[in-house]
Chain A
């Protein structure tokens, strides 16, 4: 969303305030309009769509509180920010109770104003993304890629629906590429929190200190390099869901921190002492066996029990082979559109081959294979030939066609990289070589390090 996609309406009976705010927000590139009273505002609101309305609490005629009620009736997702001349705490609190995003007491510090509007815009942006996602999930109506028709996946979906009606903490278990984030998003988008963001944080991707600051945010000057105050993911997830991807990879200290937040629903930004209250639901995922980690002492038992209220295990693709044809066709349709190709289906022998294969990289690997096959596909069908990069056709009868060691190595490394979604450390682990060797091989064969994430 560009700033010019954000529509802000200013409602104030005082022309100087109206004009100053309009001008101030226009310099940020937002699309701004103003109204001198509630009636004029309501007229403009009908011409919508609006993202943010800033309104004076005290106005002749319909006052700010009443106007806010009417705005929320028109569209309860519009962000409202109240303007008040003096700290009339009671009315302001009433406004917050009735759904105001925040309020400002004039005159306001420019920095506070900037932060406020940035947060409001961020909230709106996340809401928007979420709506798109919800739309998406509605569109595929729980059928195509997450679902399939196998009894295994149907069981998962039943559980998704069941748990989305509660606020319980959920652990999603599954192999790499099995679609854990997709399931987390499905839970969120079926829950009452769906109009608020789901914030994902990949715990395995950050060092300890960085993870802490990502999660809790920091104040300006909290550590060298903290030039600005920064909101953490937990704060962004307020009223929504936080998805802690790869929870098994966090340190003892982070385990203790997360346990505390779980208990108190409160935390402070790094370098700050203001206590921030948050209302969120936690969903986490793991590829590791957490129970074993608990037994081995690398994962706190108390945290494990707090998190493990509901467990959803996603079966690996090889255990739901029934779904492979539908998934393959789903991706063919998807890439036909995005690549602007006229590939309609897949030949039976190719499909048999796909069903036969055991998919260590799960759906992500299947998706990558289809994507690459689609690039080379010529006719209306994905044919076996299009998958030659994947199932090298080796004619042992003729020596010339035998692949060289380099070719075999290249294909194999790419396969492992696809399976680990470009995670070099993991790929090196599987291949039992050093990371440096991995980098050298990638360089040598010009391999693709990362594929996009799971489709959603």
Chain B
């Protein structure tokens, strides 16, 4: 039986794993397992930008996925970038096996606000569903409340829901 694997990377997953597993199952119908891949995070650190290269992390995640993995989602708590952009919340291969998301900029602390654990969990779930959606072949959606709407600000993450709009859900059903 195939699973969606969640790979926490140098981050304590106890506070959010249960909620994430539930949401992933509800949306995609796959049960989840926590992966234990050997990921070298330090190797992806960029000295000049003081950020971690998300594409390089993604490469490590997909290089040796578990045999029963349908998808593998990495979760880090560092600031991610891709060379052309100043930062990214996460990265996913379209119709691929792997994706990675970062808690760093989803955390209120990053914006100088007091920590809000519930909000952080909510944002994490949205970003996880979003990137996994890309893995299953969905592209960005124009529906303001759809989880597949692209968000470049954390406020935009808050504006959308954790659910897919009916159109994306329909597409996903065809893609699954």
> Looking at the complex, which one of B84, B86, B150 makes contact with A27 (CB distance below 8 Å)?
B150
CB within 8 Å of B: which of A207-244? Answer: 227
Q: Which of A3, A17, A23, A27 has the most CB of B within 10 A?
A: A27
Please determine whether A27 and B134 come into contact, CB atoms closer than 8 angstroms.
yes
- B65 to nearest A CB, angstroms? 19
> Looking at the complex, which one of A3, A29, A107, A227 makes contact with B84 (CB distance below 8 Å)?
A107
Please determine whether A227 and B140 come into contact, CB atoms closer than 8 angstroms.
no
A21 at the interface (CB under 8 A from B): yes
Please determine whether B84 and A20 come into contact, CB atoms closer than 8 angstroms.
yes
Please determine whether A29 and B140 come into contact, CB atoms closer than 8 angstroms.
yes
B83 at the interface (CB under 8 A from A): yes
Please determine whether B94 and A26 come into contact, CB atoms closer than 8 angstroms.
yes
B1 at the interface (CB under 8 A from A): no
Q: Nearest A residue to B130 by beta-carbon distance? A: A27
Question: With A and B bound together, what is the CA distance between A14 and B55 in angstroms?
Answer: 15
Question: With A and B bound together, what is the CA distance between A27 and B134 in angstroms?
Answer: 7
Please determine whether B84 and A108 come into contact, CB atoms closer than 8 angstroms.
yes
Question: With A and B bound together, what is the CA distance between A113 and B152 in angstroms?
Answer: 10
Please determine whether B86 and A16 come into contact, CB atoms closer than 8 angstroms.
no
Q: Which of chain B's residues have a CB closer than 8 A to the CB of A109?
A: 85-86, 152
Q: Which of chain B's residues have a CB closer than 8 A to the CB of A24?
A: 82, 84-85
Q: Which of chain B's residues have a CB closer than 8 A to the CB of A16?
A: 55, 82-83
Number of A-B contacts (CB under 8 A): 62
Please determine whether B85 and A27 come into contact, CB atoms closer than 8 angstroms.
no
CB within 8 Å of B: which of A111-161? Answer: 111, 113-114
Q: Nearest A residue to B140 by beta-carbon distance? A: A28
A106 at the interface (CB under 8 A from B): yes
Question: With A and B bound together, what is the CA distance between A179 and B82 in angstroms?
Answer: 52
B28 at the interface (CB under 8 A from A): no
Interface size, chain B (Cβ < 8 Å): 21
B87 at the interface (CB under 8 A from A): yes
A110 at the interface (CB under 8 A from B): yes
B76 at the interface (CB under 8 A from A): no
Question: With A and B bound together, what is the CA distance between A20 and B55 in angstroms?
Answer: 8
Please determine whether B84 and A106 come into contact, CB atoms closer than 8 angstroms.
yes
B44-72 to A contact mask, C-beta < 8 Å, 1/0 = 00000100000100000000000000000
Please determine whether A107 and B86 come into contact, CB atoms closer than 8 angstroms.
yes
Q: Nearest A residue to B96 by beta-carbon distance? A: A23
Please determine whether B83 and A20 come into contact, CB atoms closer than 8 angstroms.
yes
B122-154 to A contact mask, C-beta < 8 Å, 1/0 = 000000000000100001100000000010110
Q: Which of B55, B82, B93, B94 has the most CB of A within 10 A?
A: B82
> Looking at the complex, which one of A19, A23, A26, A114 makes contact with B150 (CB distance below 8 Å)?
A114
- B22 to nearest A CB, angstroms? 25
A20-B150 CB under 8 A given contacts A27-B94, A227-B159: no
> Looking at the complex, which one of A26, A106, A110 makes contact with B83 (CB distance below 8 Å)?
A106
Q: Which of chain B's residues have a CB closer than 8 A to the CB of A28?
A: 139-140, 150
Q: Which of chain A's residues have a CB closer than 8 A to the CB of B86?
A: 107-110
Please determine whether A110 and B85 come into contact, CB atoms closer than 8 angstroms.
yes
B97 at the interface (CB under 8 A from A): no
B88 at the interface (CB under 8 A from A): yes
Q: Nearest A residue to B54 by beta-carbon distance? A: A20
Q: Which of A21, A83, A107 has the most CB of B within 10 A?
A: A107
Please determine whether A17 and B150 come into contact, CB atoms closer than 8 angstroms.
no
Please determine whether B139 and A110 come into contact, CB atoms closer than 8 angstroms.
no
A110-B87 CB under 8 A given contacts A23-B94, A28-B139, A28-B140: yes
- B52 to nearest A CB, angstroms? 14
Q: Which of chain A's residues have a CB closer than 8 A to the CB of B134?
A: 27
Please determine whether B140 and A27 come into contact, CB atoms closer than 8 angstroms.
yes
Question: With A and B bound together, what is the CA distance between A17 and B84 in angstroms?
Answer: 6
- A211 to nearest B CB, angstroms? 23
Question: With A and B bound together, what is the CA distance between A19 and B84 in angstroms?
Answer: 10
CB within 8 Å of B: which of A252-278? Answer: none
- B57 to nearest A CB, angstroms? 14
Q: Nearest A residue to B95 by beta-carbon distance? A: A26
16 inter-chain pairs at a CB distance below 8 angstroms, sorted by A residue, are: A16-B82, A16-B83, A17-B83, A20-B83, A23-B93, A26-B94, A26-B139, A27-B92, A28-B150, A106-B83, A106-B84, A107-B81, A110-B86, A110-B152, A113-B84, A113-B152
Given contacts A17-B84, A19-B55, A27-B140, 17 further A-B contacts (CB under 8 A): A3-B139, A3-B140, A16-B82, A16-B83, A21-B84, A23-B91, A23-B94, A24-B82, A24-B85, A27-B94, A27-B134, A106-B84, A110-B88, A110-B152, A111-B152, A111-B153, A113-B152
3 pairs of A and B residues whose beta carbons are closest in the complex: A29-B139, A111-B152, A110-B152
